[in-house]
Chains A and B, each alone.
Chain A
């Protein structure tokens, strides 16, 4: 089955810094989503981005499907950005079941 790798596994930032999170996947996909798991454990949708580039405020994401990776950019980080960021993909041949990466744990300090 499709493999999903996220890097880095852990990231510590000072408030105001920028960061880039990466998601590599091993096969073609028809769904790629980025989530933020907040301190209460809820999975918050950030982007649905099987290809192309999207921006939402301080966050943006780019997926290069032909090269099988996606990047999540966080600019001017805030303490509320802390938590775990998950990338999840569904392969082109399946029924849209998501395969999750292990996540990147982000801690933003004031």
Chain B
């Protein structure tokens, strides 16, 4: 069974540009999460989808970040316009629902560098 995949693995952009990150969860996982780790800080929650609906977006830093999960399969996270402080590693995770199915499985991350 394939794990969580993310694309691209690395992205280098200039301040003010737009970047779109993609996450493909494990097949059959209704829950999809985005997290990020910016330089020197802890891994922080961004938002949580259940199927195509946003369940919790309390961690989204500002309106320059837009996440979508059309059709309840893969998800995209767009940063527009990117700022220097957005540099870091963006992780995606997925899980099933309920009980032991709460375990989250993480993708390899996308390393974003904003110059």
Contacts and interface: CB of A to CB of B under 8 A. Distances in A.
B109 A41 contact: yes
B95 A96 contact: yes
Contact of A90 (B55, B102, B106): B102
A41 B100 CA distance: 26
A51 B108 CA distance: 27
Contact of A96 (B31, B42, B106, B111): B31
Given A41-B109, A42-B106, A48-B103, 17 more contacts: A31-B102, A31-B103, A31-B104, A33-B103, A40-B108, A42-B109, A43-B91, A95-B55, A95-B56, A96-B31, A96-B95, A96-B104, A97-B45, A97-B56, A98-B35, A98-B45, A98-B93
Interface residues of B, number: 25
B104 A98 contact: yes
A85 interface: no
A4 B48 CA distance: 20
B55 A48 contact: no
Contacts of B58: 97
A59 interface: no
B28 interface: no
Interface of A: 30-31, 33, 35, 40-43, 45, 48, 86, 88, 90, 94-103
A59 to B, nearest CB: 16
A92 to B, nearest CB: 11
A100 B95 contact: no
Contact of A45 (B43, B56, B105): B105
A95 B55 CA distance: 8
Contacts of B89: 41
A96 B97 CA distance: 10
B33 interface: yes
Nearest to A41: B109
Contacts of A94: 56
B108 A41 contact: yes
A75 B35 CA distance: 31
B59 interface: yes
B100 to A, nearest CB: 7
A75 B96 CA distance: 31
